[in-house]
Amino acid sequence: MKKIISLSLVALLILSACLMGGCGGSKDADLNAVLADINSSFEDATSGLAQLESVDDLNKYYMIDTSTVKQFAAEITSDKAKAPVEIVLVEANDTEGAKAIETLLNQRYQQICNTYSSYSPEEYEMAKNCGVTTSGNYVTMIIAEDYDGILAKVNGAIA
């Protein structure tokens, strides 16, 4: 009987260690490292972008409630004469926060598309082929020439 109890306790300890992150499972992606990788891989698309430094910038530019953000990395076009480029990577604290962030980033995306639909047909074509995606608690808005490649980098990092 003592052996059964001991083996059960050992199995329980191993199981709890695995559930707490010791065995496999998904790891958290460092979004700043992901953005740095994007910048080095897609220099033409990302050169001259201004980095958003604090979570308060997410609120300023996208109206995102800062209490819903676990981490983020973002860069946007600083030169109004250039085509719109915005790369926003956000990890929300939970699924409810991710849904709220997704809604706000979709609003921004629609605003950009609407602006360029009457302003610049070339930039509109580029923007309409981009978008907002959600994977678990990660939400991204990518508006850039190399949308598919950038999105593939992000998805590879958060998978």
Phi-psi region of 40 (alpha: psi -120 to 50; beta: other; left: phi over 0): alpha
Per-residue pLDDT reduced to its tens digit, 121-158? 888 999 999 999 999 999 999 999 899 999 999 999 99
Q: Is 69 helix (H, G, I), strand (E, B) or coil?
A: strand
Q: How sure is the predictor about 80, in pLDDT bands with cuts at 50, 70 and 90? A: low
Q: How sure is the predictor about 62, in pLDDT bands with cuts at 50, 70 and 90? A: very high
Q: What is the pLDDT of residue 24?
A: 41
Pull the structure tokens for residue 3. Answer: 């052996």
∠ Cα 92 98 103 (to 5°): 135
Residue for token pair 């593939």: 152
Per-residue pLDDT reduced to its tens digit, 30-46? 999 999 999 999 988 88
Q: Are 142 and 130 a contacting pair, CB within 8 Å? A: yes
Tell me the mean pLDDT in the region 67-71: 97
pTM score of the predicted model: 0.81
Give the start-to-end residue ranges of the domains of the chain.
27-158
Q: Are 74 and 58 a contacting pair, CB within 8 Å? A: yes
